[in-house]
């Protein structure tokens, strides 16, 4: 069993829909990251959080430490949001442990 699990693995949406991607982890963590990877492209950091909630534009990330769960929400989704979204954690070290990613496709 992976230490970091994401759901769903694949997600399709119509433009304008509200999207939620979930991340669960089985170990104690120091920080959790949400990352975005476009096809053939590099990885961009969206959020790093260790408690509560963060918002940047149409993106919102929340974390519940007690339940070992985080969610990434996208409001008013757009085709340019189509990408792979990856959850990753720090476990008292600097290296990241990654989930397998959620592939999102938003259709116009």
Partner 1 sequence: GAGVSQSPRYKVAKRGQDVALRCDPISGHVSLFWYQQALGQGPEFLTYFQNEAQLDKSGLPSDRFFAERPEGSVSTLKIQRTQQEDSAVYLCASSPHRVLRYNEQFFGPGTRLTVL
Q: Tell me if 86 contacts partner 1 by CB under 8 A.
A: yes
Torsion of CA 60, 64, 70, 75, to 10 degrees: -20
Q: Tell me if 33 contacts partner 1 by CB under 8 A.
A: yes
- Among the residue ranges 19-27, 52-60, 65-73, 85-93, the one whose residues contact partner 1 (CB under 8 A): 85-93
Q: Tell me if 22 contacts partner 1 by CB under 8 A.
A: no
Q: Tell me if 96 contacts partner 1 by CB under 8 A.
A: yes
Q: Tell me if 95 contacts partner 1 by CB under 8 A.
A: yes
Burial class (CB in 10 A: 0-12, 13-18, 19+), 63: buried
- Among 10, 14, 18, 44, the residue binding partner 1 under the rule CB under 8 A is 44
CA 53, 55, 60, 61 torsion-angle sign: negative
Number of H helices, E strands in the chain: 0, 11
84 sits in which H/E element: strand 83-90
- Among 7, 26, 64, 100, the residue binding partner 1 under the rule CB under 8 A is 100
Q: Contact residues for partner 1 (CB under 8 A)?
A: 4, 30-31, 33, 35, 41-45, 48, 86, 88, 90, 93-101
């Amino acid at each position: 069993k992976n230490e970091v699990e994401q759901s769903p693995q694949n997600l399709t949406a119509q433009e304008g829909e509200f999207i939620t991607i979930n991340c669960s982890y089985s170990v104690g963590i120091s920080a959790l990251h949400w990352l975005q990877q476009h096809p053939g492209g590099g990885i961009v950091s969206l959020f790093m959080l260790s408690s509560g909630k963060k918002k940047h534009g149409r993106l919102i990330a929340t974390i519940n430490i007690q339940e070992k769960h985080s969610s990434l929400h996208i409001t008013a989704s757009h085709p340019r949001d189509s990408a792979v979204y990856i959850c990753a954690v720090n476990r008292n070290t600097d290296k990241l442990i990654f989930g397998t990613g959620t592939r999102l496709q938003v259709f116009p």
